[in-house]
Amino acid sequence: MTTDSPFRPALERALSHALDHLDHLEQQPVGARASLDTLRTRLSRPLSDAGMPAAQVIDALAADTAGGINGSAGGRFFGWVIGGALPAALAADWLTSAWDQNAATFACAPAVTVIEKVCGGWLKDLLGLPRDASFALTSGCQMAHATALAAARNALLARRGWDVERDGLCGAPAIRILSGDQLHGSIARAARLLGLGTGAVRGLPVNAAGQLEAATLQQALAESAGAPVIVVLQAGDLNIGAYDCFAQLTPLAHRYGAWVHVDGAFGLWANASPRYRHLLAGVARADSWATDGHKWLNVPYDSGFAFIAHGDAQRRAMSYEASYVTHNDHVREPKDWNPEWSRRGRGVAAYAAMRELGRDGIAAMVERCCAAAHALVTGIAALPGAELVWEPTVNQGLVRFLDRTPGASESDHDRWTDEVSNAVLASGEALFSNTTWRGKRCMRVSVCNWQTGDADVARAVAAVADVLREDEKAGT
């Protein structure tokens, strides 16, 4: 028997605190309430010489962080683009830690290596990507970009007779990155990490629908003729969830010899639903893709995926040989595809999420989030004093609030829009994060959580209505 297991007391306390948190999200304020000072006072204690029993450490952690944990695991957290964690994914993530395998090699992590290979295959199938694309399981979309663009850098320079892995970038032809100007900051950071520099990134103006137009891209490609070029297309931009027209832009970029990379951090998941798949028509012809597991698949954090149509380029960019590793040609060695060496078996949680939901469950989750985003945005926009800015096509939309003071200016509306979001946060009923879009402050509505349902939407709309009603009272 294992009653005297050194692990049991701490793990049982962790389970109890975890359930306390997850099962009470409905009754708790969505946003963290503890102030920075409180959290610092409780947590930044001097490191003691003497240790303490493991279970007590866990109890102290729960006590010291109380009020400092956002309710992002629940159904009324609509800020940024944040997913929750499906039960199987969360539990599998715990097991991953218990197993504590080093997912660098098959020898270190036999079962996990096989799980990750299967995971890659399932993902390509769900996301509509080429069956023979290579992949990497990264910490998030940021590192998926870095991985995919490292492969792009290799391929574009190899074609020009330059071995970037051996010779670096000094003296190499300068790579340029072209994209719509609504690109996520993680692309610029990938350019920094890869030594391309942010000066290499050119954001091109998008049309009213947030899409890069063929004529705009063509002109930029023509201006870059002869240079190695990466075109980054958007599958769901961060504000309005806009999708570039892959069927049109990918062949155009290829005619100029460019590498096409797709940022589909959350938006690539629309492919899992027959209702939204059309947004991704032609996406499979790109050269690389990056997405997240911790957003729309609802896997705990530390889950991103890179896919590359040219496995040889990814391998040249990433593979690692060392005298103390035995190479096994019969299995996929994760270290040859990933930017890291030692790492957790992060594919296990994603594998568990896909098994829990199945193909139909993932499609239903995507559709539920889109329906909730639509109901939230239109429900809030219908309130007196609110304005519809972007009606969601997928899971992202924008609303704005108008200052009712006579003669109020755009900057008054901007300030009031921020105040409304803060007041909703203070009510504890929901959390929205704001953005500046086309020069205006907007409340950004993003729905990525597997739990968000009609009751959550109703509660959130009611919370906004309460804030606006208070304002009306104050004004009369």
Ligand X SMILES: *Cc1c(COP(=O)(O)O)cnc(C)c1O
Structure-block tokens of residue 105: 């090699």
Which residue among 86, 109, 221, 238 contacts ligand X (CB under 6 A)? 238
Q: Does 434 bind ligand X (CB under 6 A)?
A: no
Residue position matching structure tokens 């701490």:
10
Distances (CA, A) of 442 to 239, 382, 417, 436: 10, 15, 6, 6
Of residues 172-231, which lie at the interface with ligand X (CB under 6 A)? 184, 186
Q: Does 397 bind ligand X (CB under 6 A)?
A: no
Cα 162 from chain centre: 33
Beta bridge partners of 388: 399
Structure-block tokens of residue 311: 């496995």
End-to-end, the C-alpha distance of the chain in Å comes to 71
Cα distance between residue 16 and residue 268, in whole Å: 36
Which residue among 58, 81, 188, 231 contacts ligand X (CB under 6 A)? 81
Cα distance between residue 291 and residue 270, in whole Å: 12
Stretch that binds ligand X, among 5-13, 137-145, 355-363, 397-405 (CB under 6 A): 137-145
Site string for ligand X, 317-356 (x = CB under 6 A): ----------------------------------------
Which residue among 93, 213, 263, 302 contacts ligand X (CB under 6 A)? 263
Minimum gap (Å) between residue 9 Cβ and ligand X: 34
Applying CB under 6 A, what is the total number of residues that bind ligand X?
A: 12
Structure-block tokens of residue 448: 């990525």
* Closer of 304 and 334 to ligand X (Cβ): 304
Q: Does 30 bind ligand X (CB under 6 A)?
A: no
Cα 208 from chain centre: 24
* Closer of 233 and 386 to ligand X (Cβ): 233
Cα distance between residue 301 and residue 139, in whole Å: 8
Minimum gap (Å) between residue 18 Cβ and ligand X: 23
Site string for ligand X, 280-319 (x = CB under 6 A): ------------x-----------x---------------
Site string for ligand X, 139-158 (x = CB under 6 A): -xxx----------------
Minimum gap (Å) between residue 337 Cβ and ligand X: 18
Q: What is the dihedral of CA 433, 436, 437, 443, to 10 degrees?
A: 30
Minimum gap (Å) between residue 293 Cβ and ligand X: 9
Cα distance between residue 288 and residue 151, in whole Å: 9
Distances (CA, A) of 4 to 17, 133, 152: 21, 48, 53
Q: Which residues contact ligand X (rule: CB under 6 A)?
A: 81, 140-142, 184, 186, 238, 263, 265-266, 292, 304
